[in-house]
Amino acid sequence: LPTNKDVKFELLFIGNELLIGKILNTNSQWLTRQITLLGGTCSRINVVRDVLEEISNVIKEILNRSPRFLIISGGLGPTYDDMTLEGLSLSINQPLRINKTALSWITQKYQELYEKKRLGDPTITPAREKMANLPSDSIPLPNPVGSAPGVLLKKGITNIICLPGVPGELKAIFDESVKSEIEKEVGKRYFAESNFFVKGIGESSMAPAIEEVMKKSSPYVYIKSHPKQDESDSIVEFHLTTPNDPQCFDKSKDFLEEKIKTAREELESKISKLGGTIILKE
């Protein structure tokens, strides 16, 4: 059932590699896309280094903004600079404790690897045990492909979810355990979208037309223009989407798609009159 509420998400990525330009943050695009398709609203993305105080501070700030979900990615592994759980523990004042379920999963994982001769010694060393040391009241989420379990923890109205930074592990835990948590809060909600490209006219020449169609189709359509090059040799992509507006939440797929279709037709017609050429692909 639709909740008729705007379900806000914040994302937090933890890892020096994202702040020195070593890694392209593909997890961010993947997660925001999944959340959007599920009908949630991602209102902010935060990225901090592997510094305990900075992790703990940013989590406190996010919790003060009371999103319904805080999804944290990175820093769940066995090395000295994996300190997400310690940072979370500090920020919410819930001490780290060995979680028996998480520890049994980790023990079993290393035992399996040993039996398959993919690992020399399955002993649960301090580095491995660390991955089961969760803030009190955490619910561990199984990791179908890696060692570090995910974590779910409710704090006030916020569902805090910790996922590994390794993309395959993040996606696997999200699909298996997080998606259903989101659906519980968001309900059944539809998202429609459409895009096309325009050649031969600059963004600034189309600005009044965009605003006009946007106002007319409000609150069911959001129009965003993305210039692909500078205006002198311009291709502009248009992306029409269902906004996260409460008035859209109980509408059917057909209704929302019809609104997008009408807005697109009006926009295309105005752009053609201004001298632009509609093309379907870049």
Residues 113-132 that bind a second copy (CB under 8 A): 113, 116, 118-121, 125, 127-128, 131
The yes or no reply on residue 6 touching a second copy (CB under 8 A) is no
The yes or no reply on residue 30 touching a second copy (CB under 8 A) is yes
User: Binding to a second copy (CB under 8 A): which residues in 242-271?
Assistant: none
The yes or no reply on residue 53 touching a second copy (CB under 8 A) is no
Among 5, 60, 66, 79, the residue binding a second copy under the rule CB under 8 A is 79
Secondary structure (H, E, C), the chain:
CCCCCCCEEEEEEECHHHHCCCCCCHHHHHHHHHHHHCCCEEEEEEEECCCHHHHHHHHHHHHHCCCCEEEEECCCCCCCCCCHHHHHHHHHCCCEEECHHHHHHHHHHHHHHHHCCCCCCCCCCHHHHHHHEEECCCEEECCCCCCCCEEEEEECCEEEEEECCCHHHHHHHHHHHHHHHHHHHHCCCCCCEEEEEEECCCHHHHHHHHHHHHHHCCCCCEEEEEECCCHHHCEEEEEEECCCCHHHCCCCHHHHHHHHHHHHHHHHHHHHHCCCEEECCC
Region from 85-93, 96-104, 139-147, 246-254 binding a second copy, contact rule CB under 8 A: 139-147
Judged by beta carbon, residue 3 or residue 28, the one nearer a second copy is: 28
User: Binding to a second copy (CB under 8 A): which residues in 208-227?
Assistant: 208, 210-211, 214, 222, 224-227
The yes or no reply on residue 95 touching a second copy (CB under 8 A) is no
Region from 18-26, 150-158, 246-254, 265-273 binding a second copy, contact rule CB under 8 A: 18-26
Judged by beta carbon, residue 66 or residue 204, the one nearer a second copy is: 204
Compute how many residues bind a second copy; rule: CB under 8 A: 81
